[in-house]
Amino acid sequence: MIRRRSIAFAVALSLAASVGGVVAAAGPAAADTPALLGGMSVADYCFNLGYQGTTAVGPATQVTGTITGPNAAYDNWACVANSGATTLIKVGGPAPSFTNLCAVQYPGVASYPAPTNADDAYTWNCYLLPPASGPGVRAQVQAATTAVFQNSLVQDEIAQLKSLVAARKVGLAIVTGVRFLGSRPLQELIGDVLAAYRLPNQAPAVTAGLAAAIVWAVLS
């Protein structure tokens, strides 16, 4: 038991230091998997916004010309006007955006967009957004942290870290966890969720809370 607590303390300090967070101040996020609302119909969304496309290109396209590749899910999809002009579909903000697409395609619920694979443009889905426990930015940040924690990207990482700790490869677990917290796919996911909550400049707070939640999950 003492050794296990020592491991937990070491991992917690390392992850917290990597994001400047205070692990003791943050509790674990809910462990439930996110409610998947469903996939997206990007072409229909663009068409309904008035983007007719051209004869050669429909109402939606990938501006990079590729479907897969490093971060191909981001800054790639665009709506196409009948003139051929393209308008990039951002993650958040007004239409056209993936956040707005989820709101249009799944009306009546709070949702957020996220790809299951940052390197594949065809893996975007809409997820149910956890409600904030009360008013104020702090409650929204906690809800955003829960949303990120529930995502399969984080849950898969937790499973990997658990296996490393079980094999007594604690040093490797720490290095892997710190690298994951700073990885672009995770930071993009945090940005997706914060865009849905309309919370600018809160990525450090969510990352710090997430570090604490991961430690609790790995050592529980």
Confidence band for 211, pLDDT divided at 50, 70 and 90 = very high
Q: What is the pLDDT of residue 120?
A: 95
Q: What is the pLDDT of residue 64?
A: 95
User: Which pLDDT band holds residue 34 (cuts at 50, 70, 90)?
Assistant: low
Q: Does the global pTM surpass 0.85?
A: no
- Per-residue model confidence as pLDDT tens digits over 135-187: 889 999 999 999 999 888 898 899 999 999 999 998 899 889 999 999 988 99
Calpha distance 162→104 (Å, rounded): 38
- In the prediction, which pLDDT does 14 show? 53
Residue 198, pLDDT score: 86
How many CB atoms neighbour CB 22 within 10 A? Answer: 12
Give 20's pLDDT tier (boundaries 50, 70, 90): very low
Question: How sure is the predictor about 33, in pLDDT bands with cuts at 50, 70 and 90?
Answer: low
Nearest alpha-carbon partner for 193 in 145, 124, 160, 157: 145
The single-letter DSSP state of residue 97 is B
Spatial contact of 137 and 202, defined as CB atoms under 8 Å apart: yes
pLDDT of residue 145: 93
Distance CA 189, CA 207 (A): 11
Q: Which residues fall within 8 angstroms of residue 82, CB to CB, at 6 or more apart?
A: 51, 52, 53, 54
Token code pair at residue 26:
């943050």
pLDDT band of residue 200 (cuts 50, 70, 90) is confident
Whole-angstrom distance, CA of residue 78 vs CA of residue 22: 40
Q: What is the pLDDT of residues 80-130, one digit of tens each?
A: 999 999 999 998 888 999 999 999 999 998 899 999 888 999 999 999 988
DSSP line for 128-184: EPPPPSSSSHHHHHHHHHHHHHHSHHHHHHHHHHHHHHHTT-HHHHHHHHHHHHT-H
* Banded model confidence at residue 8, pLDDT cuts 50, 70, 90: very low
Q: How far apart are CA 5 and CA 193, in angstroms?
A: 32
Q: Which pLDDT score is estimated for 219? A: 81
Residue 73 confidence class, pLDDT cut points 50, 70, 90: very high
Higher-confidence residue: 48 or 132?
Answer: 48
Are 206 and 151 in contact by the 8 Å Cβ rule? The answer is: no
Q: What is the DSSP letter of 113?
A: E
135 burial via Cβ count (<10 Å: 0-12, 13-18, 19+): exposed
